[in-house]
Amino acid sequence: MTSEISKLPPLREVIARHGLNAKKSLGQNFLLDLNLLDRIARVPGPLDGAAVYEVGPGPGGLTRALLKAGARVTAVERDDRAMPALAELGEAAPGRLRVVAEDAMAIDEAALIGEPAHIASNLPYNIGTALLVRWLTLEKWPPWWLSLTLMFQKEVAQRIVAQPGTDAYGRLAVLAQWRSKPRIALDLPPQAFTPPPKVSSAVVHIVPAEPLRDIPASALGAVTAAAFGQRRKMLRASLKSLPGALDALAACEIDGERRAETLSVAEFVDLAAAWTAAKR
């Protein structure tokens, strides 16, 4: 089966034949280097026989690499122009590629996949962060996904792995680090893509971990949204918009004159726990 995939024409030829010029409105930038795509497909670890969920496959570059690695892929794509190219890819890997023509923001992925799966995607830039936040704030933990291997603008990737006290540290870092372990697996220059974006990209790998503390994900989401929504303000000012948050701040003995970027992930988790208790 892998040999059939290897016989497929170059991605540039596929894109030209099907008129798949990248659409800015869909946040598309296609990665065509097969060696780089194979490297990304290796990031989650062995995929032979594993279920993989992919968002926005476009002409199927990463899909091709995932199938070569032996994965069973469910791909969600809203661009109808990509369907013929993906159908050809499915023919080269019989029974291992399911393409769903839906909006990834509106789909119930767990129900669609029906089993634990790795998520691997060159995410469309315009929905990448929103999807990541959704996957990180699922109330059920461990989640239905086994790992996340996701491509972002490098600036976003750095925000995911950032440490307290740095300019990049914010809500994404807290949500990513309180019960999972993120790392930057690969850096990719603009010229690796068609069309080349104006910024560099990076592949982030995230695996679930034991939570620092068992709290509702929605509580941590609310507290971090308020705290970092006005990150230049002191916490006593930025948290005013969240009823009960100032009482939680006092209960945790956190100085209200501190700013959000100075709090550790553990302090945010404690603050969310205290805020949850204060609401009862």
- Residues annotated within the binding site are 29, 31, 56, 77, 103, 122
For 151-206, write each residue's pLDDT tens digit: 999 999 999 999 999 999 999 999 999 999 999 999 998 888 777 778 889 999 99
User: Which residue in 109, 94, 97, 92 sits closest to 57, CA to CA?
Assistant: 97
How big is the CA angle at 168 (ends 165 and 169), to the nearest 5 degrees? 50
pLDDT tens-digit map of 255-276: 999 999 999 999 999 999 999 9
pLDDT at 230: 87
Average pLDDT for 122-135: 90
Contact between residue 127 and residue 104 where contact means Cβ atoms under 8 Å apart: yes
In which residue ranges of the chain is CATH 3.40.50.150 found?
A: 2-208
Residue list for the binding site for S-adenosyl-L-methionine:
29, 31, 56, 77, 103, 122
Q: In which residue ranges of the chain is CATH 1.10.8.100 found? A: 217-279
Tens digit of each residue's pLDDT (9 = 90 or more) over 38-82: 999 999 999 999 999 999 998 999 999 999 999 999 999 998 989
Maximum pairwise Cα distance, the chain:
64
* Residue 142, pLDDT score: 96
Report how far apart, in Å, the C-alpha atoms of 75 and of each of 13, 27, 53, 107, 113 are. 21, 17, 6, 12, 10
Question: Strands 97-100 and 72-76: what pairing?
Answer: parallel
For residue 162, give the DSSP letter: -
What is the pLDDT, as a whole number, of residue 123? 85
Contacts of 200 (CB under 8 A, 6+ apart): 153, 154, 187, 188, 189, 190
Q: Where residue 28 falls among pLDDT bands split at 50, 70, 90?
A: low
CATH C-level class of 2-208:
alpha beta
Tell how far CA 264 is from the center of its chain. Answer: 22
72-124 residue pLDDT tens: 999 999 989 899 999 999 999 999 999 999 999 999 999 999 999 999 998 87
217-279 carries CATH number 3.30.750.210: no
At residue 42, the 3 state secondary structure works out as helix
